[in-house]
């Protein structure tokens, strides 16, 4: 029998280190803070920790602009701290996955400082440089995700350079084989240190169209972006040429070949393209590319059974070889407890249901820190904003700070909620203090303990970890599907509304799983009655 691959069905807990736990009193979380809280993470029953970037950086995009891929920014600690984190995690049978931001660097990276000097140095072709048009304007119409043209003039070279993100994040030129080799060498540095895998940021952005062809315009009715506001001009184009190029597939194979030298390590790719589900399937196909892919498809405002069913079913049809990974929240979007409450107050029962739903889909799961507490989006005053994206688009779009505020640990600390001993880099959400870990730890009915209970229950259900999925056509607000593995078949039903709902089944139920304290659905004859935000699980004959 083939050995089970650990990442299949794994729950991956995302730590945003700036906001997790501050141990040195500078108002910014650090690696030692993750170590100090590792027993808490263990108590959640997760399989891996994804640590967002902690590398040396000017922090123009809070670590996603890297100036040294092989060192740790002093605000987070040092390499010895990271070694200790790996040791402490592995001692508890927790894997460590780290971000790798490969498509671009900081403009303070030595490679770029060399490349920008002239057109003849040994790094001259390591970034995407292009001449101005005869009238001095940008080489083409490509746009930055964060607003405005994707080209920045560099007077030293007398050329423009490409930046798909902030101007301080110049894009590497992956058409240059030396760049590919150098990037993979940096990845291997962390493999040698013992990491268990990588979350590959914006991995479909590594290659650009070598001919620099213009992107075509997108009609207004199609301007529905993933992960950016609709008033951002980025949504005005089909992004056919500035990312997701065919050459990128061979680079995915290079990454996989490297990981194969370190058995048990995995690659999870973040993918945002014109058809992200198709790209996820392509990038995980053949067993020689990424192990997993995830996208922004369930990080949207659409919270309907039809949308979730169609999104997951579409990926299932396309991804016949790879393995999906799903998320409802991360560090780039409004927290799901607010986003899917439709402006109402956060409902603890909905939070409990969403955890169960996400962890019942086929695939692995990324859970963002605080999701287990039911944290909603924090209100951050304009004068407290740190995210340049939010500052630029205020007030129509408030940026990403509202989902990045510090983790609340201690409800009795009315100032910083146990995160720090000083004013933190972002204010602690006022509404978060009442639902801090200390306030939920000993409450059997809390969102936190429902999370722990469900994850422990799920871990013993192989059908939920690796089984296939088949959706049932249901009317709103009910979402229902089967999970099947070998001779085991489980029925999973969810009420996405706060009102009572019913689901009728003709299946022969051999066991109703009512051992979960927060699942109170009732079965009478062939009818399942679900309370608001209720869940129902049953094993079928």
The helix (run of H) or strand (run of E) holding residue 160 is: strand 159-162
- The last residue of one of the domains, among 456, 489, 509, is 456
Q: Identify any residues that bridge with 493 across adjacent strands, giving them in sequence order.
A: 480, 536
Q: Does residue 148 lie in a domain region?
A: no
Q: Is residue 129 part of a domain?
A: no
DSSP 8-state code for residue 485: E
The candidate with the shortest Cα–Cα distance to 279, out of 255, 248, 244, is 244
Tell whether 361 and 413 lie within a shared domain.
Answer: yes
Does residue 73 sit in the same domain as residue 184?
Answer: yes
Residue where a domain terminates, one of 456, 485, 507: 456
Do 448 and 534 have their domain in common?
A: no
Sheet with 151-154: strands ordered across: 129-130, 159-162, 151-154
Task: Look at residues 456, 478, 497 and tell me which one is the last residue of a structural domain.
Answer: 456
* β-strands 159-162, 151-154 pairing: antiparallel
Same-domain status, 337 and 479? no
Cβ atoms of 409 and 369 closer than 8 Å: no
Residue (of 45, 40, 56, 43) closest to 9 by Cα position? 45
Give the CATH number for residue 304.
3.20.20.80
Query: Given 30, 99, 201, 209, which residue is catalytic?
Result: 201
**Domain that includes residue 502, residue range:** 468-540
Indicate if 445 and 530 belong to the same structural domain. Answer: no
- 482 and 356 in one domain? no
Q: 282 catalytic, yes or no?
A: no
For 131, the 3-state DSSP assignment is coil
The answer to whether residue 270 is catalytic is yes
Say what the pLDDT of residue 389 is: 87
Same domain? For 380 and 493 the reply is: no
DSSP label at residue 132: P
- Asked, for residue 533, whether it belongs to a domain, the answer is yes
Q: Is this model's pTM higher than 0.85 or not? A: yes
Distance, in Å, from the CA atom of 139 to the CA atom of 361, rounded to the nearest integer, reads: 44
* Contacts with 2 (C-beta within 8 Å, 6 or more apart), sequence order: none
- pLDDT score recorded for residue 392: 87
Whether residues 491 and 349 share a domain: the answer is no
Pair 378, 429 in one domain? yes
Query: 481 and 464 in contact (C-beta within 8 Å)?
Result: no
Residues 421 and 449 in one domain: yes
Residue 147 lies in a domain: no
What is the C-alpha separation between 530 and 495, in angstroms, rounded? 6
- Dihedral pair phi/psi, residue 270, rounded to 5°: -85, 125
CB distance 499 to 524 below 8 Å: no
- Long-range interactions of 3-7: CB distance < 8 A, separation 24+: 4/466, 5/291, 6/47, 6/95, 6/264, 7/47, 7/48, 7/197, 7/266, 7/268, 7/291, 7/292, 7/323, 7/364
DSSP H/E element including 111? helix 110-115
Query: Per-block average pLDDT, block size 10, for the chain (541 residues)?
Result: 82 98 98 98 98 98 97 98 98 98 98 97 98 98 95 98 98 98 98 98 98 96 65 90 98 98 98 95 97 93 96 95 95 95 86 97 98 96 93 88 98 96 97 97 96 97 97 98 97 96 94 82 92 95 81
Distance of alpha carbon 418 from alpha carbon 429, whole angstroms: 12
Q: Quick one: 306 and 419 in the same domain?
A: yes
* Consecutive H or E run containing 16: none
353 and 474, same structural domain? no
Give the closest residue to 536 by CA, choosing from 461, 484, 480: 480
Q: What is the pLDDT of residues 125-163, one digit of tens each?
A: 999 999 999 999 999 999 999 989 999 999 999 999 999
Is residue 60 included in any domain, yes or no? yes
- CA 149: distance to chain centroid? 26
> Would 116 be classed as within a structural domain?
no
- Does 171 map to a domain? no
* Count of all residues that appear for the chain in the document: 541
Q: 472 lies in a domain?
A: yes
pLDDT of residue 229: 54
Strand order in the sheet with 488-495: 468-472, 478-485, 488-495, 535-540, 509-512
pLDDT recorded at residue 295? 87
Q: Which of 35, 56, 144 is CA-nearest to residue 105? A: 56
What is the tally of structural domains in the chain? 2
Q: What's the pLDDT score for residue 1?
A: 42
Give the pLDDT confidence of 317-373 residue by residue, as tens digits. 999 889 999 999 999 999 999 999 976 789 999 999 999 999 999 999 999 999 999
Active-site hit among 81, 270, 297, 332: 270
Contact 142, 130 (CB under 8 A): no
CATH number at residue 483: 2.60.40.1180
């Amino acid at each position: 029998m083939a050995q089970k691959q650990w990442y299949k069905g794994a729950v991956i807990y995302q730590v945003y280190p700036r906001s997790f736990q501050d141990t040195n009193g500078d108002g910014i979380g650090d690696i030692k803070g993750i170590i100090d809280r590792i027993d808490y993470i263990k108590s959640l029953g997760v399989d891996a920790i994804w640590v967002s970037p902690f590398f040396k950086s000017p922090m123009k995009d809070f670590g996603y602009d890297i100036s040294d891929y092989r060192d740790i920014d002093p605000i987070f600690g040092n390499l010895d701290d990271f070694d200790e984190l790996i040791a402490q995690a592995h001692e508890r049978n927790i894997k460590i996955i780290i971000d790798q931001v490969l498509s671009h660097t900081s403009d303070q990276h030595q490679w770029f400082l060399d490349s920008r000097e002239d057109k003849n140095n040994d790094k001259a072709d390591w970034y995407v440089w292009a001449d101005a048009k005869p009238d001095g304007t940008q080489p083409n119409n490509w746009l930055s995700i964060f607003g405005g043209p994707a080209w920045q003039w560099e007077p030293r070279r007398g050329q423009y350079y490409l930046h798909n993100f902030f101007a301080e994040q110049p894009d590497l030129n992956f058409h240059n084989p030396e760049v590919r080799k150098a990037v993979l060498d940096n990845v291997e540095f962390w493999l040698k240190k013992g990491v268990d895998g990588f979350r590959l940021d914006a991995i479909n952005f590594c290659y650009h169209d070598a001919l620099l062809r213009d992107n075509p315009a997108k009609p207004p009715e199609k301007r529905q972006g993933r992960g950016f506001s609709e008033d951002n001009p980025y949504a005005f184009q089909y992004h056919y040429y500035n990312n997701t190029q065919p050459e990128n597939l061979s680079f995915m194979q290079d990454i996989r070949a490297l990981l194969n030298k370190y058995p048990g390590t995995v690659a999870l790719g973040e993918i945002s393209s014109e058809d992200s589900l198709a790209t996820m399937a392509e990038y995980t196909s053949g067993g020689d590319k990424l192990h997993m892919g995830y996208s922004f498809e369930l990080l949207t405002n659409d919270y309907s059974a039809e949308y979730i069913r169609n999104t997951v079913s579409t990926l299932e049809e396309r991804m016949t070889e790879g393995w999906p990974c799903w998320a409802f929240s991360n560090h780039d979007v409004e927290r799901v407890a607010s986003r899917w409450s439709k402006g109402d107050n956060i409902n603890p029962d909905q939070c409990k249901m969403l955890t169960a739903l996400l962890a019942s889909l086929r695939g692995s799961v990324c859970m963002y820190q605080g999701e287990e507490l039911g944290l909603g989006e924090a209100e951050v005053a304009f004068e407290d904003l740190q995210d340049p994206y939010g500052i630029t688009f205020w007030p129509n779009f408030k940026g990403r700070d509202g989902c990045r505020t510090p983790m609340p640990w201690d409800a009795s600390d009315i100032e910083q909620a146990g995160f720090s001993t000083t004013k933190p880099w972002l204010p602690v959400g006022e509404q978060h203090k009442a639902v801090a870990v200390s306030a939920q730890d000993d409450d059997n009915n809390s969102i936190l303990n429902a999370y722990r209970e469900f994850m422990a229950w799920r871990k013993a259900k192989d059908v939920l970890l690796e089984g296939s999925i088949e959706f049932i056509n249901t009317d709103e607000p009910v979402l229902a599907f089967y999970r099947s593995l070998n001779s085991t078949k489980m029925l999973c039903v969810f009420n996405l509304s706060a009102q009572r709902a019913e689901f009728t089944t003709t299946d022969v139920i051999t066991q109703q799983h009512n051992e979960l304290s927060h699942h109170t659905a009732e079965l009478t004859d062939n009818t399942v009655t679900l309370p608001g935000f209720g869940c129902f699980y049953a094993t079928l004959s």
